[in-house]
Each structure stands twice: as C-alpha cells, then as structure tokens.
Structure 1
Amino acid sequence: MAPCDLLTSAQLAAAGLGAGRAADTGPARSCTWSRQQASNAVPVVLLVMPGADLDGLRSAPTPVSGGYVEAEVGGLAALRTSGPGCTTAVDVGSGLHSMVEPAGCADRGTMIELAVANLLA
C-alpha cells in the first residue's frame, strides 16, 4: 500500500490534515501532509522503508530527539522518540513505517496507529 493511501480521507480530515504529497528517495517512499496551526503549515511525514528494522534504529550512533523508547503499535514492535519532536517507527515485518510529527506530540500515537491498522486490515 502506498504511504499516502495509509490514512483515509475521513481520518485526515479528523486530524486536520490536507491532501498528501508522495515522494520516493531511493528505496524509501513517503507521504507528507500539512496541518494548519496558527499561521503556518506543519508537515506530518510517513516514511515507508523496505527492509529496515528496529535494530538499525537502536544501534544508530546518534539517536534523534533524545533517543528511543520501546513501544507497541497495533500489536507490532515499535520505537518512539523520547525527547522533543515526535517520531514513531513500527516494524511491519517487511520494513519500517515511521511517522514524523515535528510540531508536537498530541497525535503521536493516533496517526501511526491508524496507518498501521489500515495496513493490516
């Protein structure tokens, strides 16, 4: 499933997200949505990284945003950042799905949980 297809239009509307913009960088695929907050648009990015796993993130020399904490999303192993900014990476078996919300943590679980549930449905 393409990253931009992992959230339904109803889920996007409920989260205040606009239409997604797809992009590919090497083997990674992504979708970026914009959330209007005050006077600026804040990007929310979903990355799909085939073949990647959580061990690669755990062993990274410089953990982002204060490091990761173990988590679970939709019954699958995951890592979440523990500092400022919000990143959740979920091991879906064929690679990682990672949601990045740099502006705040209000939806840190909700959006990635919806994307994973839609993927597994």
Structure 2
Amino acid sequence: MKRLVAVLAMVSMPAMADIEVSNEKYHPDENGLSGIFSYDVTNNYDVAVSALDLRVVASTPGREVPWADNRGSIDIPGGVEPGETRTLKNRAPREADRAVSEGFDVVFDVEPMAAYDASGSAIE
C-alpha cells in the first residue's frame, strides 16, 4: 500500500535532490527491436535505496513531442548504498526502439520521483 500511495503522489512531487541520475544512454539491440537504456544512480541519502519511482522521457533533440514519457517503479537488487553510484539498466520503451528503427536519434532523461529504503518505506 505504501508504494501505491507514493506512485499516486509522485505526479506532483519534485525531482529528488538526494538521488542523482546521470550518464543516460540508449543501447539498441542488433535488430533494433528491443534496446535497453542505462544510467548511473548516486545515492546521497544516509540509508540504502532498494527501489525507485522514475519518470523516463525518450526524445529526439529538436523534436517538440517525446517518443515516450513514462512513469514506473524499479527494484534495485543489492540496492544502492549511501555515497555509492551504480549503473542500472532497463528495457527501453517500444516507442524509442521504433524511433531508432526509423532513423531518429533518441536520448533519455531519467528523473527520480521517489526512493525506498531496505524495508520498502518511502525515504523522506
């Protein structure tokens, strides 16, 4: 239930300053059908982070409308300890794969919306 409340509330939540996301990259697969994107997550909290709610935008520079603008949750096996940076990977939205297959460049912007500690409670 805690996660449901956080997901409903994250629409209006500002980006989290204690979680830094950087180095977002798209990695198409060989046939262009199911690429992944990777990004570095740095935990500046004083507790480990076990999961994140994220907003992921896939867009092409110079285009006004993004290919995808999704929100979702990810569990982080092993977590991200205080002060640690880890590279995480997720499957790219199909719309981003389709854009790449049509010859467009796609960049990702990953914005943390909520973080959870080892017990699954939202970190304030």
TM-score after normalising by structure 2: 0.30
Higher relative contact order, structure no. (Cα contacts within 8 Å, ≥ 6 residues apart): 2
Greater share of residues in strand: 2
Query: Greater CA radius of gyration, 1 or 2?
Result: 2
Please state which structure has a larger fraction of its residues in helix: 1
